[in-house]
Amino acid sequence: MKYSKKEYQEYLNKKSPDSNIIKDTTLAFLVGGGICVIGQGIFDLYNVLLGISEDTSRVLVSVTMIFLGALLTGLDVYGKLAKYAGGGTLVPITGFANAIVSPAMEFKKEGLVLGLAAKMFVIAGPVLVYGITASAIAGIIYFFLRFVGVLV
């Protein structure tokens, strides 16, 4: 072939179509924002309409959104929405629910223990590991800064 490896890679890059950045980011913005608006609406439902305290309402919103994310994944709706929404449906809580429920559904065929339970965190695992680790490190730094009096 007349191309070297590097030349071929550059050539392929030029020939491969790029994603439509404007369409993708706009849809992600609209759907992601829309999901957050729904979350706010549910908060108002609990807090304002049903008179539940603010702290409890916040927890209830998370629970409700997780439920909805899981339900829509089970009904095969979430994946279809994500095809257009991209980053917008990756939004934590609903996206996280989808990332856990989808492998759980898929790997049930390999049994409840080594299939469903073992593979359930195959997508969301890194979020848990690095999210929890980052928060622990942040907590240690915060504690230290308070200890030396930099923060109060």
Partner 1 sequence: MRKRIGRQTAEIDNAYIVSSGAIVGEKEGKGPLADYFDIVLPDNEWNEKTWEKTESKMQREAVKLATRKGGVDLSCVDRVFGGDLLNQCISAGFGLRELDIPFYGIYGACSTMIEGLSLSAQVIDGGFCDMAVAVTSSHFCTAERQYRNPLEYGGQRTPSAQWTVTGAGAAVVSRDVGNIGIKHITTGKIVDMGIKDANNMGGAMAPAAYDTIKAHFEETGMSPDKYDLIITGDLGKIGAEILVELLNKDGIDISKNYKDCGCMIYDIEEQDVHAGASGCGCIASVLCGYLLPEMEKGNIKSLLAVGTGALLSQTSSLQGESVPGVAHAVGFKRRENI
| Binding footprint of partner 1 on the chain (CB under 8 A) | 1-3, 5-6, 8-9, 11-12, 15-19, 24, 73-74, 76, 78-79, 81-83, 85-86, 89-90, 95, 98-99, 101-103, 105-107, 109, 123
Q: Which is nearer to partner 1, 46 or 78 (CB)?
A: 78
The three-point CA angle 85-121-67 to 5° equals 55
CB of 58 to partner 1, least distance (A): 24
Task: Give the H or E element holding residue 126.
Answer: helix 125-147
Handedness of CA 41, 43, 45, 51 (dihedral sign): negative
Of 24 and 60, nearer to partner 1 (C-beta) is 24
Q: Are the C-beta atoms of 121 and 100 separated by less than 8 Å?
A: yes
Torsion sign over Cα 35, 41, 42, 47: positive
Instruction: CB nearer to partner 1: give 46 or 101.
Output: 101
Provide, rounded to whole angstroms, the least separation between the CB of residue 45 and partner 1. 25
